[in-house]
A and B are shown apart, each in its own frame.
Chain A
Amino acid sequence: MPNNRKFYIAGFVVSLFLAGVVSFYASSSPDGLEKVAEDIGFIETAKENTNADVVLSDYGTKGVDNERASVGIAGVVGVLGTAVVAGVAFKLIARKPQKAKN
Protein backbone atom coordinates (compact mmCIF):
# COMPACT_ATOMS: atom_id res chain seq x y z
CA MET A 1 0.00 0.00 0.00
CA PRO A 2 2.58 2.67 0.95
CA ASN A 3 4.66 2.19 -2.18
CA ASN A 4 1.94 2.99 -4.71
CA ARG A 5 3.52 6.27 -5.72
CA LYS A 6 6.90 4.62 -6.27
CA PHE A 7 5.32 1.89 -8.37
CA TYR A 8 3.42 4.33 -10.55
CA ILE A 9 6.47 6.54 -11.09
CA ALA A 10 8.54 3.48 -12.01
CA GLY A 11 5.90 2.30 -14.49
CA PHE A 12 5.67 5.75 -16.02
CA VAL A 13 9.43 6.09 -16.40
CA VAL A 14 9.65 2.64 -18.01
CA SER A 15 6.90 3.67 -20.46
CA LEU A 16 8.70 6.93 -21.30
CA PHE A 17 11.91 5.01 -21.90
CA LEU A 18 10.23 2.42 -24.13
CA ALA A 19 8.34 4.98 -26.23
CA GLY A 20 11.07 7.62 -26.23
CA VAL A 21 14.24 5.54 -26.69
CA VAL A 22 13.60 1.85 -27.40
CA SER A 23 11.02 2.67 -30.11
CA PHE A 24 13.89 3.69 -32.42
CA TYR A 25 14.91 0.03 -32.58
CA ALA A 26 11.43 -1.26 -33.41
CA SER A 27 10.98 -3.21 -36.64
CA SER A 28 9.77 -1.05 -39.51
CA SER A 29 8.40 -4.00 -41.47
CA PRO A 30 4.65 -3.89 -42.17
CA ASP A 31 2.53 -5.35 -39.39
CA GLY A 32 0.54 -8.57 -39.74
CA LEU A 33 -2.59 -7.06 -41.27
CA GLU A 34 -0.62 -4.80 -43.62
CA LYS A 35 1.59 -7.69 -44.79
CA VAL A 36 -1.40 -9.95 -45.40
CA ALA A 37 -3.07 -7.13 -47.33
CA GLU A 38 0.09 -6.65 -49.43
CA ASP A 39 0.54 -10.36 -50.11
CA ILE A 40 -3.08 -10.97 -51.07
CA GLY A 41 -3.52 -7.65 -52.81
CA PHE A 42 -6.24 -5.80 -50.94
CA ILE A 43 -3.72 -3.22 -49.72
CA GLU A 44 -4.72 -1.35 -52.88
CA THR A 45 -8.11 -0.59 -51.37
CA ALA A 46 -6.48 1.36 -48.52
CA LYS A 47 -7.09 5.09 -48.69
CA GLU A 48 -4.68 7.64 -47.36
CA ASN A 49 -5.41 8.37 -43.73
CA THR A 50 -7.70 11.39 -43.49
CA ASN A 51 -5.51 12.47 -40.62
CA ALA A 52 -2.19 11.92 -42.43
CA ASP A 53 -1.09 15.56 -42.17
CA VAL A 54 -0.99 15.55 -38.39
CA VAL A 55 2.39 16.65 -36.95
CA LEU A 56 3.19 13.24 -35.43
CA SER A 57 1.86 11.19 -38.35
CA ASP A 58 3.17 7.63 -38.34
CA TYR A 59 5.18 8.16 -35.13
CA GLY A 60 7.56 10.70 -36.64
CA THR A 61 7.81 14.37 -35.79
CA LYS A 62 7.40 16.65 -38.82
CA GLY A 63 10.37 18.95 -39.28
CA VAL A 64 12.75 16.84 -37.19
CA ASP A 65 15.25 15.16 -39.50
CA ASN A 66 17.13 13.12 -36.92
CA GLU A 67 15.33 9.76 -36.87
CA ARG A 68 16.11 9.00 -33.30
CA ALA A 69 14.76 12.37 -32.15
CA SER A 70 11.80 12.25 -34.52
CA VAL A 71 10.38 8.96 -33.20
CA GLY A 72 11.55 9.72 -29.66
CA ILE A 73 9.60 12.99 -29.51
CA ALA A 74 6.53 11.27 -30.96
CA GLY A 75 6.80 8.54 -28.32
CA VAL A 76 7.23 10.93 -25.41
CA VAL A 77 4.33 13.12 -26.57
CA GLY A 78 2.20 9.98 -26.94
CA VAL A 79 3.02 8.78 -23.44
CA LEU A 80 2.33 12.20 -21.91
CA GLY A 81 -0.86 12.62 -23.92
CA THR A 82 -2.13 9.16 -23.01
CA ALA A 83 -1.26 9.79 -19.37
CA VAL A 84 -3.28 13.01 -19.31
CA VAL A 85 -6.31 11.63 -21.17
CA ALA A 86 -6.38 8.27 -19.36
CA GLY A 87 -5.51 9.84 -16.01
CA VAL A 88 -8.39 12.30 -16.18
CA ALA A 89 -10.84 9.78 -17.64
CA PHE A 90 -10.21 7.10 -15.01
CA LYS A 91 -10.22 9.63 -12.20
CA LEU A 92 -13.67 10.82 -13.27
CA ILE A 93 -14.92 7.26 -13.75
CA ALA A 94 -13.69 6.18 -10.32
CA ARG A 95 -15.27 9.13 -8.53
CA LYS A 96 -18.04 7.88 -6.31
CA PRO A 97 -21.20 9.86 -5.71
CA GLN A 98 -20.93 11.85 -2.51
CA LYS A 99 -24.41 11.18 -1.16
CA ALA A 100 -23.36 8.45 1.32
CA LYS A 101 -21.34 10.97 3.34
CA ASN A 102 -24.04 12.57 5.44
Chain B
Amino acid sequence: MHIPDGFIDVQTSAIFAGLAAAGVATALKGARTQLDEKTAPLAGLTAVFIFAVQMLNFPVAAGTSGHLIGGALAAILVGPWAAILALTIVLLMQAFLFADGGLTALGASTFNMSIVGVWVGYGAFLLVRKILPKRKASIPLAAAIGGFVSVPMAAISFTVQYAMGATATYSTSTVLGAMVGTHILIGIGEGLITGLTVSAVIASRSDLVYGWKNNNQKLEIRHA
Protein backbone atom coordinates (compact mmCIF):
# COMPACT_ATOMS: atom_id res chain seq x y z
CA MET B 1 0.00 0.00 0.00
CA HIS B 2 2.98 2.27 -0.63
CA ILE B 3 1.52 5.35 -2.30
CA PRO B 4 3.38 6.58 -5.40
CA ASP B 5 4.02 10.27 -6.02
CA GLY B 6 1.16 12.01 -7.80
CA PHE B 7 -1.93 10.22 -6.43
CA ILE B 8 -2.51 12.70 -3.63
CA ASP B 9 -2.12 16.46 -3.99
CA VAL B 10 0.54 18.46 -2.19
CA GLN B 11 -1.78 19.98 0.38
CA THR B 12 -3.24 16.66 1.54
CA SER B 13 0.20 15.07 1.49
CA ALA B 14 1.43 17.85 3.77
CA ILE B 15 -1.47 17.40 6.19
CA PHE B 16 -0.80 13.69 6.53
CA ALA B 17 2.94 14.23 6.76
CA GLY B 18 2.19 16.45 9.76
CA LEU B 19 -0.13 13.86 11.32
CA ALA B 20 2.42 11.11 10.72
CA ALA B 21 5.18 13.24 12.25
CA ALA B 22 3.05 13.87 15.34
CA GLY B 23 2.31 10.14 15.64
CA VAL B 24 5.98 9.24 15.29
CA ALA B 25 7.03 11.91 17.81
CA THR B 26 4.54 10.54 20.35
CA ALA B 27 5.82 7.03 19.67
CA LEU B 28 9.38 8.22 20.24
CA LYS B 29 8.37 9.54 23.65
CA GLY B 30 6.52 6.33 24.53
CA ALA B 31 9.33 4.08 23.33
CA ARG B 32 11.83 6.00 25.43
CA THR B 33 10.06 5.00 28.63
CA GLN B 34 9.07 1.51 27.50
CA LEU B 35 12.24 0.17 25.86
CA ASP B 36 15.29 -0.90 27.81
CA GLU B 37 18.56 -2.60 26.96
CA LYS B 38 16.86 -5.97 26.96
CA THR B 39 13.98 -5.09 24.63
CA ALA B 40 15.78 -2.72 22.23
CA PRO B 41 17.42 -5.49 20.16
CA LEU B 42 14.04 -7.18 19.67
CA ALA B 43 12.63 -3.90 18.33
CA GLY B 44 15.52 -3.75 15.85
CA LEU B 45 15.02 -7.36 14.83
CA THR B 46 11.30 -6.72 14.36
CA ALA B 47 12.07 -3.93 11.87
CA VAL B 48 14.49 -6.23 10.01
CA PHE B 49 12.01 -9.10 9.88
CA ILE B 50 9.19 -6.87 8.66
CA PHE B 51 11.41 -5.42 5.94
CA ALA B 52 12.22 -8.96 4.77
CA VAL B 53 8.63 -10.23 4.84
CA GLN B 54 7.32 -7.11 3.09
CA MET B 55 9.36 -8.24 0.07
CA LEU B 56 7.33 -11.43 -0.14
CA ASN B 57 4.27 -10.54 -2.19
CA PHE B 58 1.71 -13.32 -2.21
CA PRO B 59 -1.00 -13.67 -4.87
CA VAL B 60 -4.51 -12.86 -3.62
CA ALA B 61 -6.70 -12.80 -6.74
CA ALA B 62 -6.21 -12.79 -10.48
CA GLY B 63 -3.38 -10.38 -11.18
CA THR B 64 -3.24 -8.94 -7.67
CA SER B 65 -0.72 -9.45 -4.93
CA GLY B 66 -0.34 -8.30 -1.37
CA HIS B 67 2.31 -8.36 1.27
CA LEU B 68 2.53 -8.10 5.02
CA ILE B 69 2.30 -4.62 6.49
CA GLY B 70 3.28 -5.81 9.94
CA GLY B 71 1.75 -3.14 12.18
CA ALA B 72 -0.14 -5.59 14.38
CA LEU B 73 2.75 -8.04 14.37
CA ALA B 74 5.24 -5.41 15.50
CA ALA B 75 2.91 -4.05 18.20
CA ILE B 76 2.33 -7.48 19.69
CA LEU B 77 6.04 -8.31 19.67
CA VAL B 78 7.47 -5.04 20.98
CA GLY B 79 4.55 -2.79 21.97
CA PRO B 80 2.78 -0.08 19.92
CA TRP B 81 5.36 2.69 20.46
CA ALA B 82 8.37 0.74 19.27
CA ALA B 83 6.17 -0.80 16.54
CA ILE B 84 5.40 2.61 15.03
CA LEU B 85 9.11 3.43 14.99
CA ALA B 86 10.02 0.05 13.47
CA LEU B 87 7.43 0.43 10.70
CA THR B 88 8.53 4.00 10.02
CA ILE B 89 12.16 2.91 9.68
CA VAL B 90 11.11 0.19 7.22
CA LEU B 91 9.11 2.69 5.14
CA LEU B 92 12.04 5.12 5.09
CA MET B 93 14.45 2.42 3.95
CA GLN B 94 12.03 1.34 1.22
CA ALA B 95 11.47 4.85 -0.08
CA PHE B 96 15.10 5.94 -0.07
CA LEU B 97 16.93 2.71 -0.91
CA PHE B 98 14.41 0.99 -3.19
CA ALA B 99 12.21 3.78 -4.59
CA ASP B 100 9.23 1.88 -3.14
CA GLY B 101 6.60 4.50 -2.31
CA GLY B 102 6.88 8.13 -3.39
CA LEU B 103 8.85 10.56 -1.26
CA THR B 104 6.11 13.19 -1.40
CA ALA B 105 3.60 10.54 -0.29
CA LEU B 106 5.82 9.20 2.48
CA GLY B 107 3.84 10.99 5.18
CA ALA B 108 0.54 9.63 3.87
CA SER B 109 1.96 6.10 3.55
CA THR B 110 3.46 6.30 7.05
CA PHE B 111 0.14 7.47 8.45
CA ASN B 112 -1.75 4.54 6.86
CA MET B 113 0.65 1.70 7.53
CA SER B 114 2.58 2.79 10.57
CA ILE B 115 0.11 4.82 12.65
CA VAL B 116 -3.25 3.35 11.56
CA GLY B 117 -1.79 -0.13 10.95
CA VAL B 118 -0.25 -0.31 14.42
CA TRP B 119 -3.07 1.24 16.46
CA VAL B 120 -5.93 -0.58 14.73
CA GLY B 121 -4.01 -3.87 14.73
CA TYR B 122 -3.03 -3.52 18.38
CA GLY B 123 -6.47 -2.28 19.44
CA ALA B 124 -8.21 -5.23 17.78
CA PHE B 125 -5.65 -7.57 19.35
CA LEU B 126 -6.39 -6.19 22.83
CA LEU B 127 -10.14 -6.54 22.35
CA VAL B 128 -9.91 -10.14 21.18
CA ARG B 129 -7.39 -11.00 23.89
CA LYS B 130 -9.87 -9.76 26.47
CA ILE B 131 -12.59 -12.09 25.19
CA LEU B 132 -10.43 -15.19 24.81
CA PRO B 133 -9.24 -17.29 27.77
CA LYS B 134 -6.06 -15.98 29.42
CA ARG B 135 -3.84 -18.59 27.89
CA LYS B 136 -0.74 -18.49 25.75
CA ALA B 137 -2.60 -20.24 22.96
CA SER B 138 -5.01 -17.31 22.71
CA ILE B 139 -2.29 -14.81 21.79
CA PRO B 140 -1.56 -15.96 18.21
CA LEU B 141 -5.29 -16.05 17.42
CA ALA B 142 -5.83 -12.55 18.78
CA ALA B 143 -2.71 -11.47 16.85
CA ALA B 144 -4.07 -12.93 13.61
CA ILE B 145 -7.36 -11.08 14.01
CA GLY B 146 -5.52 -7.84 14.80
CA GLY B 147 -3.43 -8.27 11.65
CA PHE B 148 -6.48 -9.07 9.54
CA VAL B 149 -8.47 -6.01 10.68
CA SER B 150 -5.55 -3.59 10.29
CA VAL B 151 -5.24 -4.00 6.51
CA PRO B 152 -8.73 -2.93 5.34
CA MET B 153 -8.55 -0.10 7.91
CA ALA B 154 -5.31 1.13 6.35
CA ALA B 155 -7.07 0.87 2.97
CA ILE B 156 -9.92 3.03 4.32
CA SER B 157 -7.36 5.51 5.58
CA PHE B 158 -5.92 5.74 2.07
CA THR B 159 -9.45 6.29 0.75
CA VAL B 160 -9.87 9.23 3.13
CA GLN B 161 -6.70 10.74 1.68
CA TYR B 162 -8.04 10.06 -1.81
CA ALA B 163 -11.32 11.80 -0.94
CA MET B 164 -9.48 14.79 0.50
CA GLY B 165 -6.91 15.31 -2.20
CA ALA B 166 -6.89 12.93 -5.14
CA THR B 167 -5.52 14.40 -8.34
CA ALA B 168 -7.89 12.05 -10.20
CA THR B 169 -11.65 12.53 -10.34
CA TYR B 170 -13.01 8.99 -9.98
CA SER B 171 -15.67 8.75 -7.29
CA THR B 172 -14.59 8.07 -3.74
CA SER B 173 -17.20 5.36 -3.24
CA THR B 174 -15.80 3.38 -6.19
CA VAL B 175 -12.31 3.64 -4.71
CA LEU B 176 -13.59 2.74 -1.24
CA GLY B 177 -15.34 -0.42 -2.43
CA ALA B 178 -12.39 -1.62 -4.48
CA MET B 179 -9.80 -0.79 -1.79
CA VAL B 180 -11.71 -2.50 1.02
CA GLY B 181 -12.64 -5.54 -1.08
CA THR B 182 -9.07 -6.15 -2.22
CA HIS B 183 -7.57 -5.47 1.17
CA ILE B 184 -9.89 -7.84 3.00
CA LEU B 185 -8.25 -10.55 0.90
CA ILE B 186 -4.77 -9.23 1.61
CA GLY B 187 -5.76 -8.97 5.28
CA ILE B 188 -6.30 -12.73 5.39
CA GLY B 189 -2.65 -13.16 4.42
CA GLU B 190 -1.65 -10.53 6.96
CA GLY B 191 -3.60 -12.38 9.66
CA LEU B 192 -2.03 -15.72 8.79
CA ILE B 193 1.54 -14.41 8.76
CA THR B 194 0.97 -12.41 11.96
CA GLY B 195 -0.57 -15.39 13.78
CA LEU B 196 2.10 -17.85 12.63
CA THR B 197 4.98 -15.53 13.48
CA VAL B 198 3.61 -14.69 16.94
CA SER B 199 2.97 -18.36 17.59
CA ALA B 200 6.55 -19.24 16.61
CA VAL B 201 8.03 -16.57 18.87
CA ILE B 202 5.70 -17.42 21.75
CA ALA B 203 6.61 -21.12 21.46
CA SER B 204 10.33 -20.41 21.76
CA ARG B 205 10.53 -17.20 23.80
CA SER B 206 7.18 -16.16 25.28
CA ASP B 207 9.05 -13.91 27.73
CA LEU B 208 9.96 -11.63 24.82
CA VAL B 209 6.41 -11.12 23.51
CA TYR B 210 5.01 -7.77 24.65
CA GLY B 211 1.40 -8.76 23.97
CA TRP B 212 1.79 -11.73 26.32
CA LYS B 213 4.02 -10.25 29.04
CA ASN B 214 1.79 -7.26 29.35
CA ASN B 215 -1.22 -9.58 29.74
CA ASN B 216 0.46 -11.36 32.64
CA GLN B 217 1.57 -8.27 34.45
CA LYS B 218 -2.02 -7.51 35.32
CA LEU B 219 -2.11 -10.70 37.36
CA GLU B 220 0.96 -9.83 39.38
CA ILE B 221 0.57 -8.84 42.99
CA ARG B 222 2.03 -5.42 43.42
CA HIS B 223 3.43 -4.47 46.78
CA ALA B 224 2.79 -0.93 47.79
Report A24 CB to chain B, min CB distance, Å: 10
Chain B, interface residues (CB within 8 Å), range? 35 or more
Whether the Cβ atoms of A94 and B35 lie closer than 8 Å is yes
Interface string of A52-89 (1 = CB under 8 A from B): 10101111000000000001001101110111011101
CB neighbours (8 Å) of A27 from chain B are: 57-59, 65
Report B208 CB to chain A, min CB distance, Å: 7
Report B148 CB to chain A, min CB distance, Å: 14
Give the contacting residue for B98; candidates A37, A46, A59, A86; CB below 8 A: A59
Q: Which residue among A31, A51, A75, A90 has the maximum number of chain B CB atoms within 10 Å of its CB? A: A90
Interface string of B11-43 (1 = CB under 8 A from A): 000000000000000001001100111111111
A94/B39 contact (C-beta < 8 A), A32-B155, A47-B102 known: yes
Q: Which residue of B lies closest to A1 (CB)?
A: B207
Chain A, interface residues (CB within 8 Å), range? 35 or more
CB neighbours (8 Å) of A96 from chain B are: 36
Majority DSSP secondary structure for residues of A touching B: helix
Give the contacting residue for A14; candidates B49, B103, B104; CB below 8 A: B49
Q: Which residue among A56, A71, A94 has the maximum number of chain B CB atoms within 10 Å of its CB? A: A94
Report B192 CB to chain A, min CB distance, Å: 15
Whether the Cβ atoms of B41 and A32 lie closer than 8 Å is no
A83/B44 contact (C-beta < 8 A), A26-B57, A40-B170 known: yes
Q: Which residue of A lies closest to B104 (CB)?
A: A50
Instruction: Choose the segment among B122-130, B136-144, B179-187, B212-220 that binds chain A (4+ C-beta atoms closer than 8 Å).
Output: B179-187
Say yes or no: is B175 at the interface (Cβ < 8 Å to chain A): yes
Whether the Cβ atoms of B66 and A31 lie closer than 8 Å is yes
A32/B86 contact (C-beta < 8 A), A50-B103, A54-B98 known: no
A11/B45 contact (C-beta < 8 A), A30-B65, A32-B155, A93-B40 known: yes
Whether the Cβ atoms of B98 and A56 lie closer than 8 Å is yes
Report A54 CB to chain B, min CB distance, Å: 5
CB neighbours (8 Å) of A44 from chain B are: 168
CB neighbours (8 Å) of B158 from chain A are: 33
**How long is the Cα–Cα vector from A35 to B52 in the complex, in angstroms?**
22
CB neighbours (8 Å) of A56 from chain B are: 97-98
Say yes or no: is B221 at the interface (Cβ < 8 Å to chain A): no
CB neighbours (8 Å) of A3 from chain B are: 205
Say yes or no: is B73 at the interface (Cβ < 8 Å to chain A): no
Q: Which residue of B lies closest to A38 (CB)?
A: B63
Q: Which residue among B28, B99, B207 has the maximum number of chain A CB atoms within 10 Å of its CB? A: B99
CB neighbours (8 Å) of B35 from chain A are: 90, 93-94
Beyond A31-B64, A75-B52, 19 additional contacts (C-beta under 8 Å) are: A11-B48, A19-B55, A22-B56, A27-B57, A29-B59, A30-B63, A31-B65, A31-B66, A32-B66, A32-B185, A41-B168, A42-B162, A45-B168, A57-B98, A78-B93, A85-B47, A86-B43, A89-B85, A94-B39
